[in-house]
Amino acid sequence: MKRLTVFTPTYNRAFCLGQCYESLIRQTNKNFKWLIIDDGSQDNTKSLVNSWIKEEKIDIQYHYQGNQGMHSAHNAAYNIIDTKLNVCIDSDDFMPDDAVEKILSIWDQQENTINIAGIIGLDAFKDGTVLGRIPSDLKYSTLAELELVYKIRGDKKVVLRTDVVKKYPLYPITKEERLVPLGTLYLMIGQEYQFVCSNEVFCIIEYLEGGSSKNILSQYKKSPNGFRYSRILEMKYSKSFFYTFTRAMHYISSCIFLKKWFFTSENPKKFTTLLALPFGILLHCYILFKIR
């Protein structure tokens, strides 16, 4: 059995998926499989992937489902994956030629360490610019700690232990919504596990027009249930009043979009929500103004 699954959610990305494929066939270590989760593409993704499968250059598994959003594609992947480790590489991104080799080498040194859920590595742009290097003396952390305690910015590439992922609930699916922040899973995992920190680059990224990173404000309106779910978890696990306060503001805005009461039993920080109420209303007005 392969040791690592590289999974790629994709939706109408046949025009750029080849870049990811080419990077995978160049890997110096082939001890992985590529799982493609096609989230309802209407272009030639299926025929393109079938042509790659016939080439037999790497182990490829293809799964098609109706369009439900990135988080649903992650749910499907986590249900299918049977390797020890997994990592998501988006359809418009690709891996450095030695990424798999480095991932497995790092894991070999840490596999038996107690309460380690995986590896946090780096993303970089095509020009070599690295997003938010990790202090060299920081051996273990969580994504939340990197951002909130160590003030390290920039997306990170997370390699996960599959058995750990399967302990946690799947992302909730809401009809007509296409987004739940993926960080909610990492946040829950971070309450029980640490990650090995690495300054190796595991992924070369590129943000395309139409990607979720380019239209976040409009997504607040389009996927309020997903963001409300995220804000509840963020408030629940927050160790900072300021962070809890800002999450409460966003929670209030999501509730207004949904026409839901703010102070339900799901809200873990009702008093902070009360304090944040006027600011949450102002945030909601700002979002509406920016997306008008």
Residue 111: band (very low, low, confident or very high) from pLDDT cuts 50, 70, 90 = confident
pLDDT at position 208, please? Answer: 58
pLDDT at position 213, please? Answer: 46
Only one residue has tokens 């979002």, namely: 287
Region of poorest pLDDT, from 31-40, 157-166, 199-208, 260-269: 199-208
Does this model's pTM top 0.75? My answer is yes
Indicate if the alpha-carbon torsion angle 25, 99, 155, 64 is positive or negative. positive
pLDDT at position 209, please? Answer: 55
| Cα 204 to Cα 102: distance, rounded to the nearest angstrom | 15
> Residue 160 forms beta bridges with which residues?
86, 118
pLDDT at position 166, please? Answer: 98
Sketch out the chain's domains with CATH numbers. Answer: 4-208 (3.90.550.10), 215-290 (no CATH)
The token pair at 240 is 């900072």
The mean pLDDT value for 53-67 works out to 98
Whether residue 158 contacts residue 143, with contact meaning beta carbons closer than 8 Å, is answered with: yes
Only one residue has tokens 């369009």, namely: 67
| Cα 237 to Cα 234: distance, rounded to the nearest angstrom | 5
The mean pLDDT value for 270-279 works out to 98
Closest among 84, 165, 157, 88 to 119, alpha carbons compared = 157
pLDDT over 80 at 73, yes or no: yes
**Residue 241 is which amino acid?**
F
| Cα 31 to Cα 58: distance, rounded to the nearest angstrom | 9
Other CB atoms within a 10 A radius of the CB of residue 272 amount to 19
The string of pLDDT tens digits covering residues 150-206 is: 999 989 999 999 999 999 999 999 999 999 999 999 999 999 999 999 999 999 998
| Cα 26 to Cα 137: distance, rounded to the nearest angstrom | 31
Residue 290 DSSP symbol:
H
Average pLDDT, the chain: 95
> Residue 195 forms beta bridges with which residues?
118, 141
pLDDT over 50 at 264, yes or no: yes
The string of pLDDT tens digits covering residues 121-152 is: 999 999 999 989 999 999 999 999 999 999 99
pLDDT > 70 in the chain, percent? 97
pLDDT over 80 at 222, yes or no: yes
pLDDT over 90 at 44, yes or no: yes
pLDDT over 90 at 114, yes or no: no
pLDDT over 90 at 211, yes or no: no
